[in-house]
Structure 1
Amino acid sequence: MKFKPFVFSAALIIAANVSFSQDNLVNSLKSNQSADSKEGFKFTDVINLANTTIKNQGSSGTCWSYSTNSFLESEMIRLGKDPIELSPIYSARCAYIEKAKNYVRMHGAVTLGDGGETHDVINMYRKYGALPLSVYTGLNYGTSKNKFGEMAAVTQAMLEAIVKNPNGQLTPNWLSAYTAVLDAYLGNVPQSFSYKGKNYTPQSFAKELVGINPDDYIELSSLTDYPYYKKFTLLIPDNWSFDQVYNVHMDEMTDIIDNALKNGYTVAWATDVSEKSFSWKNGVAYVPETSYEDMTDQQKAEMFNGPKPELAVTPEIRQQAFDNYNTTDDHGMHIVGISKDQNGKEYYIVKNSWGTTNDYKGYLYVTRNFVKYKTTSLLLHKKAIPSELRKKIGV
């Protein structure tokens, strides 16, 4: 996931091939709020599964890594382990290496930037292991938060030069040179390290302390132009590895999430957040019955000042939004529970990675309709899926 360039300026057009930072997106969403919103909602938790502290991805397009590492931390808790805060930048760094290999093999005809997908974290965990956040922060030059703009520009220019093949044949050193740039910005990866008095490698740390089996996790989506209950390649730009996902019916996506949460499993969620009905500041997302373009100024000002009626989302509406770019793969978050508003309507409790500056200190309340409409993919433990659905997809 990376941030969709839905606010245009000369600077953004120049940077069109570089993933947009959290700052760009949050600044673009600042108008999506209502005064006194928190007073208009009365949320009561139904399920609120254990999760670790809210993080801030800073100026980086690494939401996919923050959300999925948060998901893995909750998986550790579910498995009865002491939760260890994992390094999202280690996962991202490993993905940048694999992405660079793919970019060069594809002669540059594939997405670069620092965006990614939830499965990238699982794939990197399988190949490279994991590191605790305390060992690898990715903050290597005096910043307190990620600031990846320069690194993204340098690495993209470097790989573009490599793809041009000025020597007439690629040298065997291009990857080590590229890796050295990542090390300069993010820090060298320790071959071994000490954690609570014992030495580990990234692989042994993943195996002994994190202790998840990457083969237990699968991805799902819902599109009408592929057979249901089969795998298909999710054709979104940040699926640079061309991973496949299982196709389920739209309503089954929320059935799966509900079943997961009720059985103690959280869900990594990839979605579009560019809708005017998504408010980071107010911590609420829904699908309004009246389109934003048709609202009065008063309705726009009151979009988030309490529960509102929603549009009935259909598979056709969902598919159309995907096909015409109204739904793009903007952001990754972590679904950790269910809450009810004062009218008894249920919302998903969603953990974000933009710090704690919104009304709910880093969390959001998202309706089922919004999830049905705007989800690009879900990642979860295969046993979190209802048994009948597991049989249908052959898991």
Structure 2
Amino acid sequence: MTKSLIKPLFLASGLLLSSAFGYAQDNLVNSLKNNQSANSTAGFKFTDIINLENTPVQNQGSSGTCWSYSTNSFLESEMIRMGKKPVVLSQIYSARNAYVEKGINYVRMHGAVTLGDGGALHDVINMYRKYGAVPQINYTGLNYGTKKNKFAEMGAITSAMLEAVVKNANGTLTPNWEKAYAGMIDSYLGEVPKKFDYQGKTYTPQTFAKEVVGIKPDDYIELSSFSDHPFYSKFTLLVPDNWSFDQVSNVPINEITEIIDNALKKGYSVAWATDVSEKSFSYKNGVAYVPAKAAEDMTAEETAAMFSEPKPEMEITQEIRQTAFDNYQTTDDHGMHIVGLAKDQNGREYYIVKNSWGVTNDYKGYLYVTKNYVKYKTTAILLHKGGIPGAISKKLGL
């Protein structure tokens, strides 16, 4: 398979659009909406096998914050799994804190790391550990009258500021640049609350995380699958938006889906980082798969019928997966949340995936994604260690 026409948009973007490309969010979604069959749901008959309870679908707007929306949705489902009443968490609180940390890292690295809205699944866990959590109603990030996120102007200005700091016109850094940088972010997103009231009780972000959300960051693990590193070891995931240089645990390709299957059966959902710029990913239709025939080899009629009914798929191997990543055919485009398992009328299994582009597609913001697509296009998954099968957990030394 070859890169799609919109693939170059993502190469510096991270999990759905950096600030440099934030303005293109709506155009991207519209292009994916247009990739649809004439009768987009008639040809697929899905039956749920597992459908874990989760919170309402959100809309990230014109911001590259899918990593924060998907992983906060995951944390909300963790609250449900633990028997707690879920709280819709502030995705922009996580993002705001990551932007501050990313800026500090950018200056320390003399500007030699990625900037922008993009991030990784582990960023939410890392920000939760350091900064706690806040309900969405207490920190929306909508600070100047907008109804949806719109981050392009903020990204352009903060990037320019950091570039000026790196150029260091004074010869040495002032003690004020970090405060000025954070203040610029807060002028767009709003100052973070030091204390806030929630359901009749006053919290700080740290006490809210501990007393209400209640997750333990060390209970979570991020994994991927690449043949250029030893399996069952850790390595630094070399994608642009891993600005913190976090490491992930490496497992063989078939164990990615084995882990997800086991987690879902045990009641654990999974945060998922992936590539959505393939022609066989249709937001409008709510379906993603890997065609047996490459998209560029299809006739116009075959292309138009890609989502008319279930089609044969390419079998994915470790080599095919690795080659796609090495050739930039698989990039870290987007983050979503795997909440269940379903099958079509032919018995093929699909993961039920919660997206963060609102409820405008055929499945009200959800998609059905084949296991082959997940094997092929996953850049990372994040889940509770309890969701990993015992044999794999032992190999990983957990």
TM norm. shorter chain > 0.5? yes
Unaligned segments of structure 2, at least 5 residues: none
* Contact 1:287–1:370 under 8 Å retained in 2: yes
Q: Deviations over 1:273-300 (max 9, x none)?
A: 0000000000000000000011011000
Partner residue in 2 for 1:287 = 290
User: Would you say 1:177 and 2:180 are equivalent positions?
Assistant: yes
Q: Deviations for 1:89-115, whole angstroms, at most 9, x for unmatched residues?
A: 000000001000000000000001010
> How do 1:129-208 and structure 2 match up within 5 A?
129-208=132-211
How far apart, CA to CA, are the structure 1 residues paired with 2:18 and 2:205? Answer: 34
Partner of 2:123: 120
- Give, as a single letter, the amino acid of the residue that structure 1 aligns with 2:80: I
Question: Once the two structures are superposed, what CA deviation does each residue of 1:212-241 show, in whole Å capped at 9, x if it has no partner?
Answer: 000000000000010000000000000000
Q: Shift of residue 5 of structure 1?
A: 5.8
Distance (Å, rounded) in 2 between the aligned partners of 1:314 and 1:136: 44
- 2:137 maps to amino acid: S
Q: Does 1:55 align with 2:58?
A: yes
C-alpha distance in 2, partners of 1:222/1:69? 23
SS in 2 for 1:336: strand
Residues 1:96 and 1:158: Cα distance change in structure 2 (over 3 Å): same
C-alpha separation in 1, matches of 2:7 and 2:212 = 41
Aligned to 2:391, which of 364, 384, 388? Answer: 388
Quick check: 1:22–1:57 contact (8 Å CA) kept in 2? no
Provide the aligned C-alpha RMSD in A: 1.4
Aligned twin of 1:73 = 76
Task: Using the TM superposition, give the Cα deviation of residue 31 of structure 1 relative to its aligned residue in structure 2, in angstroms.
Answer: 3.6
Match for residue 20 of structure 2?
18
Shift of 1:345: 1.0
2:268 pairs with 1:259: no
CA distance in 1, matches of 2:25, 2:121: 17
Tell me the secondary structure at the aligned position of residue 341 of structure 2. strand
Work out whether residues 37 and 305 of structure 2, in 8 Å CA contact, stay in contact via their aligned partners in 1: yes
> Is contact 2:18-2:63 (8 Å) kept?
no
2:105 alignment partner in structure 1: 102
What secondary structure sits across from 1:237 in the alignment?
Answer: coil
CA distance in 2, matches of 1:191, 1:5: 41
- Paired residue total: 387
The structural deviation recorded for 1:24 is 3.6
In the other structure, the counterpart of 1:6 is 7
2:48 is aligned to 45
The answer for the alignment partner of 1:318 in structure 2 is: 321
In 1, the alpha carbon distance for the partners of 2:25 and 2:136 equals: 20
Instruction: For residue 17 of structure 1, report the CA deviation from its aligned partner.
Output: 7.2
How high is the TM-score relative to the length of structure 1? Answer: 0.96
Q: CA deviation at 1:360?
A: 0.3
Name the residue aligned to 2:278.
275
CA distance in 1, matches of 2:18, 2:119: 16
State whether residues 313 and 369 of structure 1, in contact with CA within 8 Å, keep that contact through their aligned partners in structure 2.
yes
State how far apart, in whole Å, the 1-side matches of 2:97 and 2:235 are.
Answer: 25
Pick aligned residue for 1:213 from 211, 216, 219: 216
Q: 2:339 aligns to what?
A: 336
How big is the shift at 1:25? 2.4
Alignment partner for residue 249 of structure 1, among 243, 247, 252?
252
Amino acid at match of 2:251: V
Aligned to 1:353: 356
Percent sequence identity over matched residues? Answer: 72
For residue 376 of structure 2, the aligned residue among 373, 378, 389 is: 373
Give distance in 2, aligned partners of 1:311 and 1:5: 22
Measured after TM superposition, the shift of residue 27 of structure 1 is 2.9
2:367 to 361, 364, 370: 364
Structure 1: gaps spanning 5 or more residues: none
1:306 has 2:302 as partner: no
TM-aligned CA distance change 1:201 to 1:17, over 3 Å: closer
Distance of 1:336 and 1:216 partners within structure 2:
19
> Cα deviation per residue 1:161-209 (whole Å; 9 max; x = unaligned)?
1100000000000010011111110001111011111110000000000
CA distance in 2, matches of 1:78, 1:24: 36
Among candidates 84, 96, 114, match of residue 87 of structure 2: 84
Could you tell me how far apart the structure 2 residues matched to 1:26 and 1:163 are? 35
Residue of structure 2 equivalent to 1:93: 96
**Cα displacement (A) at 1:37:** 1.8
SS in 1 for 2:380: strand
Q: Please, which of 239, 243, 247 is the counterpart of residue 242 of structure 2? A: 239
SS at match of 1:348: strand
Change (3 A) 1:89 1:315: same
SS at match of 2:41: helix
1:32 shift after superposition = 2.1
Q: Matched residues in 1 for 2:8 and 2:333: separation?
A: 13
Structure 1 residue 16: Cα displacement: 8.2
Is the CA contact (8 Å cut-off) linking 1:114 and 1:152 kept in structure 2?
yes
Query: What is the CA-CA distance between 1:18 and the residue it aligns to?
Result: 1.9
